[in-house]
Amino acid sequence: MTVNLNAGLGAVTALILAALPGKAVELKLQWQPGKRYIFDNRADTSMKMPLPGQGLIETTANMMLRVHNDVSSHKEGVRVSHAFASVRMKQQMQGLEMEYDSADPAKRDGLLGTVLKPLTETRFSAVYDNNGALVGTEGLDDLKGAQQMGMGKEELEAMARQSADFLPVKNVEVGEAWNADVDLPMGELGGKVTIRYVLKLEELLEQKGRRVARVSMTGATKEADAGEKKNEILRTEVKQATGTMLFDIELGQPLEIETSIFLETGLPAGIPKAPGAPGKMPLKTVSVQKLVGVEDVREAPPAGKTQSEGKPDETAAAESKEDKKARRKARRAKRLQEKADAE
C-alpha cells in the first residue's frame, strides 16, 4: 500500500495555519475588469397563508437564476454589469403547479411567463469602490424586472449589496466575529426587514490549491426605529436566520453562500385583528449562491447594452450538462414548431 505523504502534509499544514495566533486575513470583495463572474442562485421558499374557513394553505416556489456579472473600469473603482442568463421557476399551490423556463419555449408562457419573462431582459450595473463596497447602481430606475415576483429595484439592489455587506471592514483572525446589517425587502408584502447577522471566521481551508475561509452566520431581527414602526402595515419578525459562506481569499469572491431564513408576517402588536382576517403567515427561504465560473470578456458596457462573449480562463467552468441539454431541447422544439407551421 502506498501512503500519500503529500496529501497528509497538506492537511497538517492547513490545520497548523488555521491554529496559528495572530494569523489575520483580509476578506475583501474584488472584481477584476475584463472578467465575467458567473453565479447560480437558487431559492426554495415555502409560505403558509391562513385563509378564513380553510386553515393554512401552503405555497411553495423553487427559483433558479444564472447571473452574468461583467466587470469594467469605473472612476469610482469598477462597474459590474448584471444580466440574467437564465431564469427557471416552479410554483405549487393547492395542487396546482406552474413552471417557467427561459431556455424552454414550451415553458415561457402562462402567468409565470408574464411576470418572469421581463427579468431575462433586465440589465443593471453596480459600482463598487476599491475596497469592495457598493457605492451606487445604474439602470434600476428604468427597470423592466419582475416586481410582482419580488425582483424589483429594492430587491436587485439588495442582491448587489449582499456579498459586500457580509464581509468585515478589517482583517480578521480565526475565531473572530463581526456584525453585519442586511436588508431583506418584502416585495408585495411591503416594507423591509433588517437582519442583524453575527458572522464568525471559523477556519481557513485549502480547496484545490486555493485558500478558502469558512464563515458562519446567525441573525435576528434588528429592531426598527419609531418612524418605521409608525408607518408599517405588517410586522415581519425573523424567527431564525443561519448560514455559511465559503470565501476565496485570493480571488476575492464568495464561492458559496448558503442561508436559511424563517420569518413570520402579520399585523403589528397592539392592533386588533378583524373577525375572519388571516393571522400570521410563516415563511421559510433556503437560498444558495454559487460561483460556477470566471471568463475573459471585453470591458463590460453600461447597463442596458449587450456584452459579447469572451474566452474562458483557467478558473472558468465549462457550460454545464444541464445547460447544454436545455439549449439542445430548445433548438429541437423550435425546429418542430417551424415544421408544424409550414405544414
* Cα gap 175→218, rounded to integer Å: 15
Q: Which of 116-130, 139-153, 183-197, 227-241 has the highest average model confidence (pLDDT)?
A: 116-130
Per-residue pLDDT tens for 56-94?
788 999 999 999 999 999 999 999 999 999 999 999 988
Please give the helix or strand (H or E) that residue 10 lies within, else none: helix 5-19
DSSP string, 201-259: EEEEEEETTEEEEEEEEEEEEPPPPHHHHHH-SSEEEEEEEEEEEEEETTTTEEEEEEE
pLDDT at 161: 84
Give the CATH number of domain 23-342: 2.30.230
Alpha carbon separation from 46 to 32, 43, 60, 287 (Å, rounded): 37, 10, 4, 12
How would residue 265 be classed by pLDDT, with cut points 50, 70 and 90?
confident
297 pLDDT more than 50? yes
Q: Any idea where the domains of the chain sit in the sequence?
A: 23-342
Residue with the three cell numbers 463598487: 128
- For residues 89, 92, 93, 95, the Cα torsion angle rounded to the nearest 10 degrees is 150
The percent of residues above 70 in pLDDT, for the chain, comes to 67
Contact of 188 with 148, CB cutoff 8 Å: yes
Q: Which amino acid is at 328?
A: R
Q: Which of 104-118, 155-169, 250-264, 315-329 has the lowest mean pLDDT?
A: 315-329
Contact of 190 with 150, CB cutoff 8 Å: no
237 pLDDT more than 80? yes
SS3 337: helix
* Helix, strand, coil % over all residues of the chain, rounded to 5: 20, 45, 30
pTM of the model: 0.74
Residue with the three cell numbers 448560514: 243
* Cα gap 44→60, rounded to integer Å: 7
Per-residue pLDDT tens for 92-119?
988 889 999 999 988 988 888 888 888 8
Please give the helix or strand (H or E) that residue 283 lies within, else none: strand 281-296
How would residue 53 be classed by pLDDT, with cut points 50, 70 and 90?
low
235 pLDDT more than 70? yes
pLDDT at 167: 95
